[in-house]
Amino acid sequence: MENDAGGKLSSVRKLIISVRLINKNVKMSIFSKFFSQNPKSSDPEIQFGRFTDTNKSAEQYKSWDYAIENFDSEKYLVAYTHLLDFMSNTEKSNVSYTLQNGILTFKIHQGSKIIEGEANTKLFSACAKIVLAENPPLGLMRILLENNFDLKYARYAFDESNCICLKFDTFVEDGSPHKIYDALKELATEADKKDDVIISKFDGLSPINRHHTRDVSTEEINSKYHYFKQTLTSVLNEINNGTINAFCIQVLLAILF
């Protein structure tokens, strides 16, 4: 009986050890997939979508804290410089500014648009030129007027050069970093989306401030097309033939898409 018990105990120990080894190997294989690096990848470096934000560094989060602290201390221009540091992407150099003689001037690149702004001890303002409209159609004017009601911070307007612009301004006392950040984000993303839409729908309009953009090559267009097609095919295949019934768990459809 003792030999039988000892043999069973030995078998159980061996089984436990083998299971631990299997789990260890599985975990190592999973982590290796997540953290492995493939420096020899031949995939082209192609950007998708519009740039609106990035993962912030510790220094940028400190800049945000400094912006809040200086705004609370009524050092408005210093607060705005820290806010622009928080918004900047060092790899893309999308934000530039100068502070001289009590006037802060800045530029922000968002896709095909450039947002230019200025701040002094009284007022903060920003503007993005969208298209040149010498004789704007009545239908376009109505659309822009209706869009003004949907915007929270910015507004459509004409400048002295007959350019359709998106503008934003506020008194510095009311221009907290939270408000300025949300306003600039709305202005930048709206301007970047609207220029191509307006030009494609209405005649007599001309693009403006496109000197910093580049023409997209046929190779890049084909790469993006095949990537989207491959991704959509993979998602639809997972929905229709996957091991989990996505239609029974509706939240999976949102995750997949």
- Summarize the confidence of residues 87-113 as an average pLDDT: 86
Assess whether 248 and 163 both reside in one domain: no
Output the average pLDDT for the chain.
Answer: 78
What phi and psi, each to the nearest 5 degrees, are found at residue 214? -130, 155
Residue 245 confidence (pLDDT):
63
Assess whether 68 and 174 both reside in one domain: yes
Q: Which residue has the higher pLDDT, 186 or 111?
A: 186
Structural domain count, the chain: 2
pLDDT tier, 194 (very low <50, low <70, confident <90, very high otherwise):
confident
> What are the start-end ranges of the E strands in 24-145?
95-100, 103-110, 113-119, 123-133
pTM: 0.67
Q: Which residue has the higher pLDDT, 234 or 38?
A: 234
**186 part of a folded domain:** yes
**109 part of a folded domain:** yes
The amino acid that residue 85 corresponds to is D
pLDDT tier, 7 (very low <50, low <70, confident <90, very high otherwise):
low
Q: Is the pLDDT of residue 94 over 70?
A: yes
Q: Which residue has the higher pLDDT, 24 or 200?
A: 200
Assess whether 246 and 121 both reside in one domain: no
**115 part of a folded domain:** yes
From the CB of residue 43, how many other CB atoms can be counted at a distance below 10 Å? 8
Cα–Cα distances in Å, from 129 out to 22, 32, 64, 96, 157? 61, 48, 28, 18, 10
Assess whether 187 and 86 both reside in one domain: yes
What phi and psi, each to the nearest 5 degrees, are found at residue 204? 80, 15
CATH number at residue 149: 3.30.1460.10
Q: Which residue has the higher pLDDT, 22 or 121?
A: 121
**52 part of a folded domain:** no
Residue span of the structural domain in which 104 resides: 58-207
Q: Which residue has the higher pLDDT, 148 or 34?
A: 148
pLDDT tier, 33 (very low <50, low <70, confident <90, very high otherwise):
very low
pLDDT tens for residues 116-142? 999 999 999 999 999 888 888 888 889
How far is 151 from 227, CA to CA, in rounded Å?
33
Strands 163-171 and 113-119: unpaired
Q: Which of 17-21, 105-109, 247-251 has the lowest mean pLDDT?
A: 17-21
pLDDT tier, 235 (very low <50, low <70, confident <90, very high otherwise):
confident
**62 part of a folded domain:** yes
pLDDT tier, 13 (very low <50, low <70, confident <90, very high otherwise):
low
**10 part of a folded domain:** no
Hey, is 233 helix, strand or coil? helix
**Helices and strands (H and E) in the chain: how many:** 7, 7
